[in-house]
Amino acid sequence: MSRSLIQNPILRGFHPDPSICRVGEDYYIATSTFEWFPGVRIHHSRDLVNWRLLTHVLTRKSQLNMEGDPDSGGVWAPCLSYDAGTFYLVYTDVKSRQGAFKDTPNYVVTASSIEGPWSEPVYLNSSGFDPSLFHDADGRKWLVNMLWDHRTRNNSFAGIVLQEYSPELNKLTGPVLNIYKGTAIGLTEGPHLYRKDGWYYLITAEGGTQYNHAVTVARARHIEGPYETAPDNPVLTSAGDRGLELQKAGHACLVHTHTDEWYMVHLCGRPVKDKYCNLGRETAIQRCTFTAEGWLALSGGGNQPLLTVEGPDMPAHPFPAPPERDDFDAPELDVRWSTLRVPADDSWLSLRERPGSLRLRGRESMSSLYHQSLVALRQQDFCCSAETSLEFEPEHFQQMAGLIVYYDTKDYVYLRITHDEELGKCLGIVRSRDGVYDDSMFEQIPLPAAVSCKLKVAINREFAQFYYCIGDTGWEKIGRSMEIYHLSDDFPAYIRFTGTFIGMCAQDLSGTSHFADFDYFEYKELSR
């Protein structure tokens, strides 16, 4: 049987910090979701080549309350594992992230099925982020996480700490040991533990999750250490070669297949222009081996990420492609949709009040860290289009609804219908660039009352062009093609971690919850 080839990235668009878990012949990847709800996406594969979005882990506000969480806060670096019939997921809900301090409570949830229901969270610690749970052969369980040191005279990334976890007591027990301080690359985080041939292997991320990102490997005979760093460290990095299509390679996790092969999933970024990665940090995979000396290495040699990787010795298992169009005929949102910080509920989102339509009741502004009425999909292609049709009759300038291309509260572009005292119902584009709001770039277009309006955006790498269509007339451009590279991790001076979303939203800043009805949403990949 000829082997399939894996094309990277395997999870396109905003899917960072992958954690891979095998159960029998099924493979699951958990990824960070940050301030987007539901929390922690789970993708599924039977061959490591084809992947489908299966479910989410954190689906209730009792498991994940992100009201007020900052941009690029929320769920960081979950770790998915399985032992003796139980799935475990540990995760951080970051409550503050800028400045000297980081408030990083860590939790664990469990389930007997990957599709849930998942338990209520058990609090673990708050000493740092990137928690990972290791199940040893003797039945003991160990948590590792990076240690955050807020003191300015010290290294903030203060090492990897280890502590035993008791599932009977539902808490961490025993001493906290700092087992690894990292290498000269610095910024040591993202730990995962493995055991093979009498060695404990510690995989960490170093260099920061940007262009100096790297995967470091160390090992020890005892879980407490001492840990020796691999002689050819780092085992994976894109640093120093901006010509590589996969940049930012790091934050890796290993899987041993049922066919006795080794693979490493890791995050990466693909710039659309210069250093700007509008799709966010994505997930890729590399084939690995262990050398005669027992060190982890990439199968093809070297330490750079490859776009095309030899697949495992498994039969192909493709999945149906998700539909391009959602007509909102189902009673619940499709698994692909995300909302900001809070779950969708009937107080602001309904698929039943007007069957066949998505009704959004306007709430707070695009700057809110609490109650935005926004439903969106990840942008997963450099070149794509998205369109929707809505009925909306605003009565006041504080009421808006439309099609938004959104990174976070500081950066978005928004084709919205609103009300103007002179024009009445009208259509225009607003943009926020690094927190500077601008609605004066293009003229507002008057719209007839009681008529539906279609809205569309076409994205070509770092450029976006908006269109509109009134009733059954043809598409008309609104405004000029505009640069949107500011919708990326890399645009501002401060670090952020998510990616671009495209979706529908409604605002009513007067507080009267004026609603908009969206008839459909369609997302298409365009030729590159």
| DSSP strands (E only) in 337-473 | 338-340, 349-350, 358-361, 373-378, 383-391, 399-408, 411-420, 424-433, 436-438, 445-446, 453-460, 463-470
Q: Which of 130, 189, 206, 490 is catalytic?
A: 189
- What are the angstrom distances between the C-alpha of 430 and each of 371, 384, 448? 20, 20, 20
Active site residue 189: yes
CB 146, CB 189: distance < 8 Å:
yes
The CA distance from 254 to 288, in Å, is: 9
The answer to whether the beta carbons of residues 241 and 181 sit under 8 Å apart is no
Judged by DSSP in three states, 247 sits in strand
- Between CA 333 and CA 227 the distance in angstroms is 47
Rg (CA), the chain: 23
Q: Would you say 201 and 193 are in contact if contact means Cβ atoms under 8 Å apart?
A: yes
Instruction: For Cα atoms 480, 482, 486, give the angle at the middle one, nearest 5 degrees.
Output: 165
Contact, 39 vs 73, CB < 8 A? no
Helix (H, G, I), strand (E, B) or coil at 304: coil
Respond yes or no: is residue 489 known to be catalytic: no
Show the tokens assigned to 500: 């671009």
Known catalytic residues are: 17, 189
